[in-house]
Amino acid sequence: MADIIREENASGGVIRVDDEVSERKLVEATQNGDKGAFGKLIRLHQKRLFRYVYGLLGSFDAAEDVVQEAFVKAYENIGTFRTQYAFYPWLSTIARNLAYNQIRREEKKESLDVLKEKGYNPQSVDLGPLDKLLNSEGHRRFYRAVMSLPLPYRTVFVLRHFEQMDYSGIASYLKIPPGTVDSRLYRARQLLMEHLKDLIDA
């Protein structure tokens, strides 16, 4: 399984799946023992999943480890997946839980300030319009500010701005009311504005 993941990561290719039916066929083929089909699922989702996990952890190495572990766990448990549902939400929930466990372990081992500085790579995540607003120093400050957010606020912020999910999608994914999504996102933005006030006012 790890060999498959290493091969897919090395290839850097992206498989295009026309629709949910095609993805379902890949999942069903994997459930029937086709490792090649799972390799295509990896290529389909690895970049998006990495962007999401990196947004939660702020560490390239840690995100890479979590993403690989998430794919391994998904492969091991693919038989329990119900193919009438979309695959990515299930996969990203596995990754999110692993990322949360990683955060808890790291917070026990070292201060948050040390954790924020680990593995920073500003080119690894495409933030779209935000990239145009922040220079390299701004990138560092921005990531530090995101990492300083309490985890519930950070998760909502990452889902909205890294994953480009809408409010109802976030609410469904996290199983919280839409109003809670709105309030957490509002608070996350407030905290970020406070952290980055000098950059914004400059």
pLDDT by residue, tens only, the chain of 202 residues = 655 555 444 444 444 545 566 888 999 999 999 989 999 999 999 999 999 999 898 888 888 999 999 999 999 999 999 988 889 999 999 999 999 988 877 766 554 454 444 443 434 444 443 444 444 556 677 888 888 899 999 999 999 888 888 999 999 999 999 999 999 999 998 888 888 777 666 5
Q: SS3 of 170, please?
A: helix
Q: Could you write out the DSSP letters of every residue in 106-123?
A: HHHHS-HHHHHHTT--TT
What pLDDT was estimated at residue 146? Answer: 87
Q: Tell me the residue length of the chain.
A: 202
Find where tokens 């029937």 sit.
32
Closest C-alpha among 153, 142, 144, 145 to residue 186: 153
Q: Where exactly are the structural domains of the chain?
A: 1-110, 126-202
What pLDDT was estimated at residue 67? Answer: 94
Cβ atoms within 10 Å, residue 24: 16
Q: Where do the DSSP E strands lie in 16-98? A: none
Q: CATH number of the domain at 126-202, please?
A: 1.10.10.10
With 0.75 as the threshold, say if the pTM is over it: no
Find all residues with CB under 8 Å of 24, minimum gap 6, and list them: 83, 87
Given a contact cutoff of 8 angstroms between Cβ atoms, the answer to whether 30 and 39 are in contact is no
What pLDDT was estimated at residue 183? Answer: 93
Domain at 1-110: CATH architecture: Orthogonal Bundle (1.10)
What pLDDT was estimated at residue 154? Answer: 92
Cα 77 to Cα 90, 94, 120, 122, 199: the distances in Å are: 11, 10, 32, 33, 46
